[in-house]
Amino acid sequence: MESGSNENPSRGHIVLGVTGSIAAYKAIDICSQLTKAGFRVETVLSLEAQKFVTPLPFQTLSRNPVVTDLYDEEEGWKPTHIRMADEADILLIAPATANCLAKLSHGLADDALTCIALALNTSAKLVIAPAMNGKMWLHPATAANVRILLDRGASFIGPEEGMLSCGYEGVGRLWPVDGIVQHVVNLMTC
């Protein structure tokens, strides 16, 4: 697998993590907009995300291979997830499920995305855009996980209120794509 094949000069390197939410389809637009803005975007799809989206649109739009498994390997000696963790300026997880937040807050590393998060270089920023059922977002366990991640320096964008895919209305919707992209652009230009 060839890495960094994006032909445009890069404004920075963003690893886009996508987890198993119905909002995963919006991550395709996030990938597209960040690539058009001049960033090198590499995408990591969790197993659950692949129930909603496939690697092809991310690969096509970013012009980079997509990691779908911890053992997706490139040529060379360094494991792909470690290379990505070393090179990232921002790890953006959008959408991030309650399960993903729990894994991140407790240091679990059982897939490519959580391994990248655990090995993330100390100068990189972790940006999380949650999307889940409102009851899950408001659950004390999720609130505790968010506090842990905030204490470790992660930043959150969203979620917002509105009609949820489960039929409820409340907090839990993925923040608008344009807002997520603008937040990342602002972080990269600070």
User: Among residues 97, 157, 164, 105, which one has the least CA distance to residue 134?
Assistant: 164
The secondary element (H helix, E strand) that includes residue 43 is: strand 40-45
Question: Longest Cα pair distance anywhere in the chain, in angstroms?
Answer: 49
Within 8 A by CB and 6+ apart from 44, the residues are 15, 16, 17, 18, 66, 67, 68, 84, 112, 113, 116
Is 31 a catalytic site residue? Answer: no
Length of the chain: 190
Rounded Cα distance between 173 and 47, Å, is 21
* C-beta of residue 180 within 8 angstroms of C-beta of residue 30: yes
Rounded Cα distance between 9 and 39, Å, is 8
95 phi and psi, to 5 degrees?
A: -85, 155
Q: Which of 31, 100, 166, 190 is catalytic?
A: 166
Q: Which two tokens mark 166?
A: 């489960």
The residues carrying an active-site annotation are 166
